[in-house]
Amino acid sequence: MWATLLLLLLALGTLALGLVAHRLLAPAGNPFARPPPGPPRPLVTDTRARDKVLKRGFSAQRVPAQLDAVVIGSGMGGLAAAGTLAKAGKRVLVLEQHDQAGGCCHTFQERGIEFDVGIHYVGQMHEGSMLRVALDQLTEGQLCWQRLPDPYDEVSLGPRRYQLRAGKVAFATALEEQFPAEKAAIKEFMRLSKMASRHVALLAVLKMVPRWLAAFLVRTSLVYWISPVFRMAATSHSEAVARLTGDRDLRALLSYLFYGTAPQDSSFMVNVLMVHHYQRGAWYPRGGGSEIAFHIAPLIERAGGAVLVRAPVTRILVSSAGTAVGVVVQKGPSEEEVEVFAPLVISDAGVFNTFSKLLPPPLRSHPGVRSRLAMVRHGMGSFLVFVGLRGSAAELALPATNFWIYPHNDLDGMMTHYASLSRDDVPDNLAMMFITFPAAKDPTYEQRHPGRSCMTILTMARYEWFEEWAGTRTKHRGPDYQQYKLAIAQRLLERALQRFPHLRDKVEFMEAASPLTNQHYLAAPRGEMYGTEHDVARFSPAVVAAMRAETPVKNLYLTGQDVFSCGLAGALHGGLLCASAVLGRLLYLDLLLLKKKIKRRRGRQAL
């Protein structure tokens, strides 16, 4: 038996090496062959200059000729896929339904104060990291990152506060100082964190190998022999941390990065990787989140492509042979539809929008399409409060630290109770909240918005609580909706002011965004910010293998959070997986070789 198994593994290894060699020798060139050409240029603050890049409206005349691909959505996943293809010489058109590019990376201004929508802070942006190398490639080295001072996060569990500090040693040391009796548990968590970070690439491999091979590895359970990370991915986070420690505060602290899924329902691997994501530090983009799209769009345009906004795609065009051949754009409710043809269609609109809305009705019942949809669920929506403040970040002594506030240390009980609330009970029973001060993180904020600053508050919210007003127009949803939204926003603001009482007389205004707001501006089907639900089932090997960039429809690809995981990093990886599939090339190996080249160059310069 063992001899047969070894021969089988040897055969699979040989096949895998053959596949790697084939992809490495694919005709498509290496888009990541060289470091960025030069140092960052001065920050562009002129509104007109920025709008020419981020708010270029759609028209049939602006559609480039002889497209190689069209991308639906300009979030991180769409821009990463499009930017990578552009670097490979492809002419790509990115279509964004909102009035500016960026998806969750866009910003908006209200009464002269700028707010970030989704970029609160990003980990693993230290020099030479894979994520930093990839983003430097896509932004041509023009995106600058500001490291947050320690503590980068503070977590409140009722009256008790804990702080997180960055650094390979400092992170664990800070935890041990706060939990001196739990050093063994912390050491084991750090070991598992390190293992997960080193092996997580195997999840990407499972998405890139041929489907028959992935199916074989999953059905035979050989995937669990390859690496413990697959069993870790399919393990409940609450169960795993309960085996590590009996300290309920430490359990909560190892689960604090909340994204709408209760720890008992979420993947241990995902939560471990999210904590590990910030162990080397937390960063914020200088100039705000819109800098990401601002520097990727010109790369796409120089290759002959374009990034156009106010371009809602209403359906994907499919030939009689079942091949995606383009999209249809509805320029306006009273204007004609515009057909845009391209040999490849890439969707950053999410799996539910793509398969349930944009595909022609006959293809929605395709067994492969229905199978994928049955594997995942909608993620939970979010509720944000944007608060404008009088005074600069320095004048108001705003901290760059992020604040995660929970009523107690039973996060599973908290989330179960919160999710079961009726709509009317929500305002008086709000659970977790996240508070951040973007103006304190970005050293250019005062230059761009002198004497002003901002605070953002976030919590999770079920779409069902707002569903009564679905279908109404934004800013015209009626007094009942406004009253309900304001009741939640005022209670969140009051809690924030209890934590920061010196800001009570500095509040100039506040705006709130419900799941319906996300549905309108982000085209999120049920107001979710993080795509499909990040539960344990989604990260089982079978679903990991199935939720790949290729789809059952020929020449239709997926990108973004639903392909890999949530957040900027997860969406970026989704884009790289998509571009790898399109180009038939192992882009991660290209990035790894470039990373080593950059490291050697820095070493020579230091001599």
Structure confidence at residue 258 (pLDDT) = 87
The pLDDT tens digits of the residues spanning 397-435 come to: 999 999 999 999 999 999 999 999 999 999 999 999 999
The pLDDT tens digits of the residues spanning 472-528 come to: 998 899 999 999 999 999 999 999 999 999 999 999 999 999 999 999 999 999 999
Beta strands in 319-464 (DSSP E): 324-330, 337-341, 345-347, 381-390, 402-406, 433-436, 452-461
Highest mean pLDDT, choosing among 153-167, 325-339, 590-604: 153-167
Structure confidence at residue 7 (pLDDT) = 40
Q: How confident is the model at residue 607 (pLDDT cuts 50, 70, 90)?
A: low
Distance CA 302, CA 295 (A): 12
Structure confidence at residue 5 (pLDDT) = 42
Structure confidence at residue 464 (pLDDT) = 97
Distance CA 338, CA 303 (A): 23
Closest by CA position to 144, among listed 272, 42, 65: 42
Structure confidence at residue 200 (pLDDT) = 95
Q: How confident is the model at residue 27 (pLDDT cuts 50, 70, 90)?
A: very low
Structure confidence at residue 37 (pLDDT) = 84
Q: How confident is the model at residue 20 (pLDDT cuts 50, 70, 90)?
A: low
Structure confidence at residue 13 (pLDDT) = 53
Q: What is the mean pLDDT of residues 247-258?
A: 96
CA angle 43, 46, 47 (to 5 degrees): 125
Structure confidence at residue 115 (pLDDT) = 97
Q: Which residues contact 533 (CB under 8 A, 6 or more apart)?
A: 260, 261, 376, 377, 378, 379, 380
Residue 23 predicted with pLDDT over 70 = no
Cis link prior to 151 (omega < 30° from 0)?
A: yes
- Residue-wise over 426-459: b if at least 16 C-beta within 10 A, else e? bbeebbbbbbbbbbbbbebbbeebeebbbbbbbb
Angle at which helices 2-24 and 211-219 cross, to 10°: 150
Q: How confident is the model at residue 1 (pLDDT cuts 50, 70, 90)?
A: very low
Residue 313 predicted with pLDDT over 70 = yes
Structure confidence at residue 281 (pLDDT) = 93
Location of structure tokens 């051949």? 325
Q: What is the mean pLDDT of residues 305-318?
A: 98
Helix/strand/coil (H/E/C) assignment for every residue in 333-358: CCCCEEEEECCCEEECCCHHHHHHHH
Q: What is the mean pLDDT of residues 14-32?
A: 59
Distance CA 516, CA 275 (A): 30
Closest by CA position to 14, among listed 6, 2, 24: 6
Q: Per the structure block, which two tokens stand in for 160?
A: 């008790």
Residue 606 predicted with pLDDT over 80 = no
Contact 581, 549 (CB under 8 A): yes
The pLDDT tens digits of the residues spanning 523-571 come to: 999 999 899 999 999 999 999 999 999 999 999 999 999 999 999 999 9
Residue 370 predicted with pLDDT over 90 = yes
Phi, psi of 11 (to 5 degrees): -65, -40
In this predicted structure, which of 2-6, 104-108, 177-181, 601-605 has the lowest mean pLDDT?
A: 2-6
Angle at which helices 290-302 and 47-54 cross, to 10°: 60
Structure confidence at residue 260 (pLDDT) = 87
The pLDDT tens digits of the residues spanning 212-245 come to: 999 999 999 999 999 999 999 999 999 999 999 9
Distance CA 222, CA 233 (A): 15
C-alpha gyration radius of the chain: 24
First vs last C-alpha separation in the chain: 56
Q: Which residues contact 116 (CB under 8 A, 6 or more apart)?
A: 107, 288, 289, 438, 456
The Cβ-side half-sphere exposure at 263, using a 13 Å CA radius, reads 23
Contact 522, 528 (CB under 8 A): no
Contact 360, 316 (CB under 8 A): yes
